[in-house]
């Protein structure tokens, strides 16, 4: 095994496991809140839609910050990277204040606008008000995780996430149900536990960066030029994330029109597929960091090869998981539902997405490599074109013409294949390696 391959794996596996723990934490939250009431469970589920909007705003400073910090690390300019990190902390805090105010005072209205029942509005407003007060620690957690990843450290983030997930589950037990003398707060207790867990992450990241990490620090210098460079890269990434989120909602609305069983089958299939995403996420983060660092060193050949290596390993892993989904779809779906019609729909979904795992791996890694180089305008154009021209419009036409749900799933995976080919062609040109940031 080559040194470069070992480097990719050392970054990718902890990142993939960290994302897996993220998913498990959400599932545990949902399970524990679900015992309170159906309304509470629905409220937490709907809050994820609001967090998609928050994630769009975080992209403003996360993607550009990643690209620039990795370049500075590659150039050996620790002070410049540390000054940028300090500036981005201030920027994240400033943005979070705006979101916190809007979220706190608009929490109940958000649920009403989504058409929720009175019970869900009440539970959701209570939950999201507390989450809104903790937006600053959520912003900082995302920023510091990505900064450390850009510097080449994903293992520490995994350990921190494991500890905070255990803390979150323990606090849920105490605050939701009122055990060991704690007040029984229900869904509000779940929100408080989440905010405390994120706060723990921030303290752990601060201690790590100040005491243990030699590549990065907080240097109290504000360089407006670097902030502008971050936002120049970040705004295209934010638009990309926003367009993708809206496109996803539109696609779900098409599936919803087919009926409850089809929607449930899609949601179950998506959850199973989410496990297959983990290697893709891990290798995407590894590619983004290593490509950016080597561009900073002006070693463009190595930067290019790091993406190639990450892509090859990713599609071996994701292709293997895809094969399992093709061969044993019903077995995988049985963990989530016993409804025969839902199982049938979800199984068809898994077979089709299993066939698309290799192009999906290419899309994950190569698009992340482009973002690591700062070429976010290119990824925006590709995603906008691909999602609407090859997925959403054909899916809507197919629905109107009376085709079944399987045709919609086939169109979705054909779009993934086309997008993977597009990214492969763009990546092969190497022109993106010289993107100015």
pLDDT, one tens digit per residue, over 390-410 is 999 999 999 999 999 999 999
Q: Are 47 and 127 in contact (CB under 8 A)?
A: yes
pLDDT at 195: 94
Domain match, 290 and 398 both: yes
Domain match, 241 and 218 both: no
**pLDDT (tens digit, 9 = 90+) per residue, 51-78?**
777 888 888 888 888 889 999 998 888 8
Domain match, 30 and 110 both: yes
Domain match, 168 and 128 both: yes
Is residue 20 pLDDT above 90, yes or no?
A: no
Percentage of the chain lying above the pLDDT 90 cut: 42
State both tokens at 303. Answer: 């930067």
| Mean pLDDT of all residues in 85-90 | 93
Domain match, 169 and 280 both: no
Domain match, 146 and 195 both: yes
- When the pLDDT of each residue in the chain is averaged and rounded to a whole number, the result is 87
Listed residues 188, 222, 256: the one ending a domain = 222
Is 229 a domain residue?
no
| Mean pLDDT of all residues in 6-28 | 84
- Helical axes 135-150 vs 187-207, angle rounded to 10°: 40
Domain match, 266 and 217 both: no
pLDDT at 250: 85
Is 231 a domain residue?
no
pLDDT at 120: 79
Domain match, 241 and 324 both: yes
Q: How many domains are there within the chain?
A: 2
| Mean pLDDT of all residues in 106-115 | 81
Is 329 a domain residue?
yes
Is residue 329 pLDDT above 80, yes or no?
A: yes
| Mean pLDDT of all residues in 187-196 | 91
Its domain, for residue 332, covers 236-437
Domain match, 325 and 348 both: yes
Is 127 a domain residue?
yes
Listed residues 192, 222, 252: the one ending a domain = 222
pTM of the model: 0.86
Domain match, 269 and 402 both: yes
| Closest C-alpha to 233, from 88, 76, 16 | 88
Is 107 a domain residue?
yes
Listed residues 172, 200, 222: the one ending a domain = 222
From 8-12, 244-248, 277-281, 335-339, the region with the lowest mean pLDDT: 335-339
Q: Are 178 and 185 in contact (CB under 8 A)?
A: yes
Is 260 a domain residue?
yes
Domain match, 266 and 179 both: no
Is 66 a domain residue?
yes
Domain match, 397 and 263 both: yes
């Amino acid at each position: 095994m080559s040194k470069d391959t070992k480097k990719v794996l050392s970054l990718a596996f902890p990142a993939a496991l960290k994302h897996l723990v993220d998913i498990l934490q959400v599932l545990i939250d949902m399970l524990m809140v679900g015992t309170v009431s159906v309304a509470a469970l629905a409220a937490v589920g709907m809050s994820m839609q609001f967090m998609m909007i928050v994630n769009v705003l975080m992209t403003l400073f996360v993607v550009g910050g990643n690209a620039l910090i990795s370049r500075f690390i590659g150039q050996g300019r620790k002070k410049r990277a540390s000054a940028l990190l300090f500036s981005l902390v201030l920027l994240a805090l400033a943005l979070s204040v705006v979101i916190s105010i809007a979220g706190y005072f608009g929490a109940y209205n958000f649920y009403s606008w989504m058409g929720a029942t009175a019970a869900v509005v009440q539970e959701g407003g209570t939950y999201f008000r507390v989450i809104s007060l903790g937006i600053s620690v959520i912003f900082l957690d995302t920023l510091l995780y990505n900064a450390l990843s850009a510097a080449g450290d994903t293992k520490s983030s995994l350990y921190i996430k494991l500890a905070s997930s255990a803390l979150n589950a323990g606090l849920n037990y105490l605050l939701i149900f009122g055990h060991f003398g704690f007040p029984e707060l229900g869904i509000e207790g779940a929100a408080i536990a989440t905010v405390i867990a994120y706060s723990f992450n921030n303290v752990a990241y601060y201690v790590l960066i100040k005491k243990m990490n030699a590549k990065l620090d907080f240097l109290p210098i504000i360089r407006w030029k670097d902030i502008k460079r971050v936002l120049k890269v970040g705004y295209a990434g934010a638009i990309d994330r926003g367009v993708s989120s809206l496109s996803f909602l539109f696609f779900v609305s098409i599936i919803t029109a087919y009926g409850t069983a089809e929607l449930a089958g899609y949601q179950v299939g998506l959850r199973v597929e989410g496990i297959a995403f983990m290697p893709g996420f891990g290798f995407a983060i590894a590619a983004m960091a290593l490509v950016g660092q080597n561009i900073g060193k002006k070693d463009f050949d190595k930067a290019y090869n790091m993406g190639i290596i990450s892509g090859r390993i990713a599609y071996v892993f994701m292709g293997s998981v895809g094969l399992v989904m093709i061969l044993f779809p019903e077995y995988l779906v049985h963990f989530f539902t016993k409804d025969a019609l839902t199982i049938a729909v979800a199984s068809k979904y898994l077979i089709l997405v299993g066939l698309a795992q290799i192009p999906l791996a290419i899309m994950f890694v190569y698009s992340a490599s482009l973002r690591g180089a700062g070429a976010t305008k290119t990824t925006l154009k590709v995603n906008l074109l691909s999602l609407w021209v090859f997925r959403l419009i054909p899916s809507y036409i197919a629905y109107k013409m009376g085709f079944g749900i399987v045709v919609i799933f086939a169109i979705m995976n054909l779009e993934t294949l086309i997008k993977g080919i597009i990214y492969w062609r763009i990546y092969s040109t190497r022109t993106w390696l010289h993107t100015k940031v």
